[in-house]
Amino acid sequence: MGRSSIYYGRNPLIEALKAGVSIKKVFTKSQSDQRFVEEIFDHFGRHFPIEKRLPSLVSNEPHQGVAFESDHDFYIGQRQSLDLKAFPRILLCNHLHDIHNLGAISRSAAAFGFDLVVHESRRSFSLNAAAVKVSMGLAFRIKFLEVSNLRPLMDTLKKGGFELGGLGASGSLKIYDWQPSGPIALVLGSEADGISKPVLKALDFELSIPMVDDIDSLNVTHAAAIAMGWIYSRSLKS
């Protein structure tokens, strides 16, 4: 089990209930918030203690009158025990610095069938309650893996038959010309510097997103959503 944490927001609570996440306690701000919680408890047939106050640590967060405590562990073990067959579409984040971007990317990952998000332990954020809220709770649908260095994992993925494509403004292969046919690992670079050189060297393809001439880049969350959406659309036609 993971360390007990406080999460907040109505959608994260709904997604936690959908995912069968163990919940220790739910906190509500008002009587109407309590009614909302009781109604979704009845809907999912799962009931947990309700406390009629919000923890002070979420008072300045967009809590929507609801918070909950859970020891759910989003993270799986080290790559040596990774079952590649369980994750045919994997997202690799190379030094992603913004925790809100991690949350938004996790939301897109869940929407487009990327069931595992990997990031480094250094120069990267780990998932927290703020990221779960930004993901609208969809982070509960996927798993996360933290590694010290992406390169060894990329080597393992290649040996396992994965295609490795990374998003970069200078990519010679347009994302819409990529026709993935097997398991896929999509690499995202940092908000400021893109994909690091060591990781770039390990890619099968550097991919770019076609845009009008006077725009040279997108926010990493938007670029990731476009790429994952394209990859998912290809899987529907296979």
Query: What is the pTM assigned to this prediction?
Result: 0.92
Render each residue's pLDDT in the chain as its tens digit; 238 residues.
Answer: 568 999 999 999 999 999 999 999 999 999 999 999 999 999 999 999 999 999 999 999 999 999 999 999 999 975 456 788 899 999 999 998 889 999 999 999 999 999 999 999 887 778 999 999 999 999 999 999 999 999 999 999 999 999 999 998 777 889 999 888 889 999 999 888 889 999 999 999 999 998 888 887 789 999 999 999 999 998 887 6
Cα–Cα distance between 145 and 44 in angstroms, integer?
A: 29
Beta-bridged to residue 75, according to DSSP, are 144
Other CB atoms within a 10 A radius of the CB of residue 203 amount to 20
Conformation bin of residue 194: beta by default, left when phi > 0, alpha when psi is -120 to 50: left
Contacts of 71 (CB under 8 A, 6+ apart): 1, 2, 3, 4, 5, 22, 24
208 phi, psi to nearest 5 deg: -125, 160
**Domains along the chain with CATH numbers:** 5-70 (3.30.1330.30), 79-237 (3.40.1280.10)
192, 196, 201, 206: CA torsion to nearest 10: -20
Which of 215, 192, 185, 169 lies closest to 97, judged by CA? 192
